[in-house]
């Protein structure tokens, strides 16, 4: 009689690490990944909108600050440049004292003075030009402008010989004061009958920026040559 092998003889026992491994540890390839909910999407959009608003506000504030600084810098530059021009001509001030004039004025409740004097800062355009080495200059406020008028021939009576230039805009105040070495006092006017030059001149130039904010610049100029 031929014996048939029992199937149990060839059955291999499964390794213990497989029998002890829970099926829950195996990845579920059949399940789909969960997507974002509508609430999560709305929250993300709101966060992005808030960040964008903050960045935009920050850039806007930065640009406004840069514009304000640039505007303030332009204002300072114009004021200082104007005062330097006047100071250089005053330092070169010359007799005759009869051609020095300081008049106190007012326009719209703000100083609007007139300053006229003789200076040696002029350079002839040509050796044979009908000009002297001296120039009589006048500074005056006209509305919102500071004007400079120059006559290169001291004794001319022709208006065509007057050169005019705008040296500052946005002007709301032009105040000039004069110091007398004799009285040691400051005055708002300088009289031609004094027959002498002031020892010093104080200039207050008030300008406004695009925001209509006024700023005053002050320059004190000594007059080296006195008659």
Q: What is the C-alpha to C-alpha distance for residues 209 and 71, in angstroms, rounded to an integer?
A: 7
How large a percentage of the chain has pLDDT more than 70?
Answer: 67
Residue 153 counted as domain residue? yes
Residue 207 counted as domain residue? yes
User: What domain count does the chain have?
Assistant: 1
Given pLDDT bands bounded at 50, 70 and 90, which one contains residue 125? low
Residue 3 counted as domain residue? no
Residue 41 counted as domain residue? no
Residue 24 counted as domain residue? no
Q: What is the pLDDT of residues 166-182, one digit of tens each?
A: 999 999 999 999 999 88
Tokens representing 105 are 């004025």
For the chain, helix (H) and strand (E) counts, in that order, are: 2, 12
Tokens representing 118 are 């003789």
Residue 154 counted as domain residue? yes
Q: What is the C-alpha to C-alpha distance for residues 78 and 104, in angstroms, rounded to an integer?
A: 23
Cβ atoms 195, 182 nearer than 8 A: no
Residue 99 counted as domain residue? yes
Residue 161 counted as domain residue? yes
Read off the pLDDT of each residue in 46-52 and give the average, rounded to a whole number.
Answer: 77
Top-ranked range on mean pLDDT: pick from 103-107, 161-165, 190-194? 103-107
Q: Which domain holds residue 117?
A: 71-222
Higher pLDDT, 142 or 71: 142
Tokens representing 92 are 């070169």
Q: What is the pLDDT of residues 94-118, one digit of tens each?
A: 888 888 999 999 998 999 999 999 9
Q: What is the pLDDT of residues 16-40, one digit of tens each?
A: 554 554 555 555 544 455 666 877 7
What is the number of alpha carbons within 13 Å of residue 166 lying toward its C-beta? 8
């Amino acid at each position: 009689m031929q014996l048939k092998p029992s199937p149990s003889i060839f059955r291999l026992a499964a390794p213990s690490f497989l029998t002890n491994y829970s099926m829950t540890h195996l990845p579920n390839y059949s399940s789909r990944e969960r997507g974002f909910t509508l609430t999560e999407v709305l929250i993300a959009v709101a966060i992005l909108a808030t960040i964008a608003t903050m960045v935009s506000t920050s850039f806007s504030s930065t640009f406004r600050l840069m514009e304000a600084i640039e505007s303030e810098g332009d204002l300072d530059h114009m004021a200082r440049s104007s005062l330097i021009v006047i100071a250089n001509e005053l330092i070169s001030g010359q007799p005759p004292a009869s051609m020095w004039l300081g008049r106190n004025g007012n326009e719209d409740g703000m100083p609007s003075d007139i300053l006229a004097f003789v200076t040696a800062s002029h350079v002839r355009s040509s050796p044979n030009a009908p000009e002297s080495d001296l120039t009589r200059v006048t500074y005056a406020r006209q509305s919102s402008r500071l004007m400079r008028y120059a006559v290169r021939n001291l004794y001319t009576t022709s208006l065509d010989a007057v050169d005019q230039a705008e040296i500052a805009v946005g002007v709301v105040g032009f105040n000039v004061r004069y110091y007398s070495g004799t009285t040691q006092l400051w005055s708002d006017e300088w009289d031609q009958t004094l027959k002498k030059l002031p020892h010093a001149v104080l200039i207050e130039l008030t300008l406004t920026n695009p925001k209509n904010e006024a700023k005053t610049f002050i320059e004190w100029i000594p007059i080296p040559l006195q008659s």
